[in-house]
Amino acid sequence: MAAAQAAAKIQRTHCFGSPHRPLKWRVPDQRYARRSLTQTVRFGPQMARTAIGKRPRVSTSDKGKQKALPKQAQHKDFKSRFSNFLRRPWIIERGIDVESLAQTPVPQMVTDRGWGGYVARPPRPNRGIVTEYYASAVPGRLLVGEPVLVQGVEVHITPEAINQYFDAPEVAISNGRGIEYIADLDPYRGRVAAGLRMDGQAEWGTLVKLYQRDTHADVAFWNLFLTYSLMPSQHRSEIFYDQARVLLRLRSGGPINIGRVIFNAIQDASAHDDQSMVFSCLITAFCRQAGIDVSAGLENHDPSMMNLTNWNQQLVLRGLPPIGNYGERRRRREEREAREAEAAALLQDQPQEAPQAPQIGGAQPGGDPFTTLLQAMQTHMDLRFTQLEGRFDTRFDTIEANIEELRGMLTSRFSVASRSGVPFQAPMPDQDPFAAGGSGIEPQDFDQRTPIVNFDDEQ
């Protein structure tokens, strides 16, 4: 009945032309003004439905028919979400160099939990692929497990798929958040804080916050790792309640389902407009597994890994002895800087004398000019004599080296001649073959088989 009344109120604004020409219809009633005021329709049963503001159907036989898009890409906010995620920062995961931490409890914890693949070096991320994934991931559909369309390919990321990718065990968690609650501990923030702080302080509220510098060294190390690779956050100095519960599970050995925790973090990042893009390396790896070429926009450098240096940093900040030779170079530099600062302070404490005009030859001011000139000449002559003496020693050493080289050359030649059957009488050890008055070699020592030595060939 309402549709018939609305159709009766339609006023024809254009009635001339071909019967196949589209007509324009206008709805004068203000009740329908909030919908489409002007619709281009054709004659037929769709006229009454168009009059009340409904969108006409698109016939597939019409020219320029619309191409059906995948269900994941039909949400109207895709373009705005893509522009929004382009401006967002992203957090790249970090692995753990377990071999360098052999003297710490980290390797045993990784082995007990089966996190060998999880703490390994992550692959390089692709920002364009990650941005498109987050723009296409509708939070409601992602939560129920629907795939996300990236470059026309469906990418399935679920908690089970994440655990399978990391080869991590499936841990049964009842609450669906990946971390099992402790009935006598979780409701009280003070107990959580007391289990993490070095001083055991239980206060935790809006005025008294929990900072990383107040926790134990191992807690600070794992918190730094969590802010990159399990619960990503750019606020690494302050520990929030969800992070604190995870850290407490790590210390107490409680169950943690990393697949569920990571999936919840991806879900939260896609549902909020003020969060960073997290798990960029993991999303890139899943897109590569789905058959998407991600090599075009990969980062140039590999993500850094946490090692013994990060562990020792937390120990040193808390006044504990580091492991190995950590800080030796820094300590030497600090000692050298301290000595230099002490010497500079001593120089400043000494009384400063008025600057004197430079004197010739180091003479004292106010002396005899003739004595000053004589001292200057003597100083110059001593310096010149020292220079000449040095040059003479250098030349003499060069001459001696040349003589030794020539003696070795002649000795080698005579050795060749003796091996060829030519009799040769070597000079006596105390006889110098190059002494004045003869060479030390008599002509009768040679016969007709003596080879002719041409020293020009040695040049």
The percent helix, strand, coil of the chain (3-state, each to 5) is 45, 5, 45
Lowest average pLDDT, out of 19-28, 113-122, 254-263, 310-319, goes to: 19-28
Which runs of E-coded beta strand occur in 35-82?
A: 38-41
Between 142 and 121, residue with greater pLDDT = 121
Beta-carbon neighbour count of residue 136 at 10 Å?
23
Residue type, 234: Q
Between 28 and 197, residue with greater pLDDT = 197
Residue 306 · residue 92 · CB < 8 Å? no
Q: If you search the block for the tokens 């890994």, which residue do you land on? A: 305
Highest mean pLDDT among 10-24, 27-41, 181-195, 441-455: 181-195
Instruction: With cut-offs at 50, 70 and 90, classify the pLDDT of residue 98.
Output: very high
Q: Name the β-bridge partners of 95.
A: 305
Domain map (residue ranges) of the chain: 2-51, 78-317, 366-410
Q: If you search the block for the tokens 């943690």, which residue do you land on? A: 256
Q: Which two tokens stand for residue 136?
A: 């296409």
Please state, for a pLDDT cut of 90, what percent of the chain lies above it: 15
Print burial letters for 414-442: b (CB count within 10 Å at least 16), e (below 16).
beebeeeebeeeeeeeeeeeeeeeeeeee
Q: What tens digit of pLDDT does each residue of 59-84 get?
A: 444 444 444 444 444 466 778 888 88
Please state, for a pLDDT cut of 70, what percent of the chain lies above it: 65
Print burial letters for 179-217: b (CB count within 10 Å at least 16), e (below 16).
bbeeeeeeeebeebbebbbeeeeeebeeeeebebebbbb
Whether 42 has a pLDDT exceeding 50, the answer reads no
Burial of 287 (0-12, 13-18, 19+ CB in 10 A): buried
Specify the DSSP class assigned to residue 325. S
Specify the DSSP class assigned to residue 277. B
For residue 268, what pLDDT is reported?
Answer: 87
CA 171/CA 184 separation, integer angstroms = 21
Between 262 and 344, residue with greater pLDDT = 262
Residue type, 7: A
Residue 119 · residue 98 · CB < 8 Å? yes
Q: Which two tokens stand for residue 29?
A: 């009633």
Contacts of 63 (CB under 8 A, 6+ apart): none
Beta-carbon neighbour count of residue 218 at 10 Å?
18
pTM: 0.55
